[in-house]
Amino acid sequence: MDGLRTITGVDERGARLIGALLEQRYRVDALLARGGMSSVYRGLDTRLDRRVAIKVMDARFADDRTFVDRFEREARSAAKIHHPNVVAVHDQGVDRTVDGNLVYLVMELVDGGTLRDLINERGALDTPLTLSIMEPVLAALAAAHRAGLVHRDVKPENVLIGHGGEHGTAVKVGDFGLVRAVASAGTTSSSIILGTVAYLSPEQVTTGAATARGDVYSAGIVLYEALTGVTPYTGDNPLSIAYRHVNDDVPAPGERLTGLPPALDELVVRATRRDPAARPADGAAFLQELVALRAQLSVPVVPVPVPEPTIQDRTVPVTPVDQARALTPPPTDDPEATSGGLNVADLGQPAMATSNATIVRQAPAGFRAMGPQGTRAMLRTDLDQAQPRPPQPPVMHPNLGSPSVGFPVPPMPPPPRKPSRAQRGMPPPKRSTNIVLWSIVVVLVLALAGTTTWWFASGRWTTVPNVAGQQATKAQTVLRDNDIEADMTHVWDNDVDAGLVVRTEPGAGRDVLRGDKVKLVVSSGPPRVPDIEPGTSVDDAKQAIKDAGLQPGLDDGLNDFSDDVPEGTVLRLDPEGGTQLRLNERVDIVLSKGAEPKPLPDLRNKTKDEAFAELTNLGLQPVEGTAAFDQDIEGGRVIGTDPPAGTVVNGDSQQVTVVLSNAVTVPDVNQKSQQEAEATLRQLGLDVEVQNLGGGGGPVLAQNPPANSRVQPGTKIVIWTVP
């Protein structure tokens, strides 16, 4: 009855919230999901007229000052993550009412369902769809890890799929930091296992440590479940499942579902290693490997269907009777479906109250054990109760004195019967001689059988050693010592120094045939911007940037003029060559726009050669036009250009017509003889009219126009002569 009252109280309070206005701003409209520590409602920000999702924390947390302080800090941290695949946090606050305080979080509303809904609808997802979902999930984790924030509860319920995005669907990760806030509410990580049991990393179970590599482990379990439709572990109860995370290796999904690419199997196994150091370092490293795998397998990007959402109700009474009932396996005819009160699909998934998806056991005094969307609280000391029985000792072969390996050694057949020595008239042999001979035969046969068994069972196999972080040459030696050939390849890596081993493929701990080749992936260190010569084609520059582990980009706003680099070719890179960046960072290619348009200079009164030289230096093509008369400019010098001075022209073989002056400077012919004066003037293209004074024939006394004046060609010059 106490449990019934607890459920009824929660339902009544939730019903009263519908239509309420939190802090006179956020209107609560409809219930979307309800969990052990919170309920999520569709709402409206009345100030901005924006549809939002409102997460209202359970009243038990609202009275805990430690939780409220941590909740506010974690909400602020989550709000700092600005990424298209992270559910945006808009606001957080406390609405104080007479019925009690309401601690709430206002988030972006994703109109759709969750990855859990999609798996429930379809079961195992195909490889293209799985990778199309996991890429944005890992991109969100990478953004959080760069900001120093660990999710701690990566699972299908926290992967939201809604309308919108580049391909019509948006995949987003939510609930960053909320598990960490719950962890502060009256307990310590040293005594409590907090999280969703099906997705907990081994270190979260054993020590409570939550790191980026722990998120990688949980994301690897999500990838496994998306590919197969089920989580890798089942057990008699949630504690036994947590025990398996600590003591068992996650199997490859290909062992459950045939047809998966081996490289995808290897990625899942590597992401879920029990040793955190053997996993990808963080979400960015996991994403890099997933993108490389997609390219290797040529897997297309496909649209992600929006699943039908289901209202998730996980409110459970917290009473010893109900908790004991929750730990009792339900009756079922299918032994494969049992997992300690939860079938395979229930682990960390939406469930009705009877499945006890939130509360696992009676929590310690002072700790409020319920959490978001299947998050669990378990005593770490209870792991001892979940340990399986020790294995039985192997059957010993009576002759070898050691465990049989592979298959039993058959008993020796009796030797063929021969006539006795007495029948052949021979004395009987000594008994000791027969025993020695038969002992030798038995030992040899058993040794041969044991060697053959060992070889076919395990002897021809060897285990790939862990050489990550070692110098490449040393790693090659270690592999050779284990009868493995190294096929070395280099990759860019943000975190591993150049020359050190990043990983092996297959990974450490995997069995391979002796003499086989194993890919030894060696770090080239963080990528650097390549040096690109000016004038390089855009395609060649893009390829060089991709080969350096970076992403090429073009930005027309960065392009610039150059007198030396042809238009449309590479002028430079931004950042410049040699700059160290992180893997897949963007490098902009700055293109040349050709010679910068320049205004024509004023070339008046310059000689033809001077004008032509100056125009040529500007990248222009000068040509001589029809000469014209200008009284102020000496003949042969420039009187103007076409286009005129000051006009802005492009330097791509633009012609400029140079107009020269044809003015003739009248020479001084006074005191010259008539014949000499006429010859001088006519030689300059001038006409001559002679006026004789008193018979003429003598020297020139005067001329008109006067000497040194400028006239047009053919102008008549009058001279006066005397006898």
Check if 153 is active-site: yes
Q: Which of 58, 153, 175, 282 is catalytic?
A: 153
Residue reference for tokens 């080749």: 517
What six digits make up the tokens of 716? 């008549």
Q: In terms of Cα–Cα distance, which of 58, 166, 174 is closest to 114?
A: 174
**Backbone conformation region of residue 259, classed left if phi is above 0, alpha if psi is from -120 to 50, else beta:** left
Question: Which DSSP helix (H) or strand (E) runs through 52?
Answer: strand 50-57
Q: In terms of Cα–Cα distance, which of 539, 545, 504 is closest to 527?
A: 545
Query: 321 — phi, psi (to 5°)?
Result: -65, -50
Any residues with CB less than 8 A from the CB of 383 and at least 6 apart, and which? 205, 239, 242, 243, 246
Q: Alpha helix locations (H) across 637-723? A: 674-683
Using CA atoms, how far apart are residues 159 and 136, in angstroms rounded to an integer? 10
Q: Is the dihedral of CA 492, 495, 499, 500 positive or negative?
A: negative
Q: In terms of Cα–Cα distance, which of 380, 364, 383 is closest to 323?
A: 364
Strands 517-523 and 501-505, bridge-based pairing? antiparallel
Taking 3-state DSSP, the helix, strand and coil percentages for the chain, each rounded to the nearest 5, stand at 35, 25, 45
Using CA atoms, how far apart are residues 428 and 102, in angstroms rounded to an integer? 103
Question: Which DSSP helix (H) or strand (E) runs through 76?
Answer: helix 65-79
Contact 476, 488 (CB under 8 A): yes
How many CB atoms are located within 10 Å of the residue 207 CB? 12
Residue reference for tokens 């900001």: 147
Q: How far is CA 538 from the centre of its chain?
A: 25
Angle between helices 212-228 and 127-146 (to 10 degrees): 170
Q: In terms of Cα–Cα distance, which of 323, 237, 238, 314 is closest to 2?
A: 323
Catalytic residue positions, numbered: 153
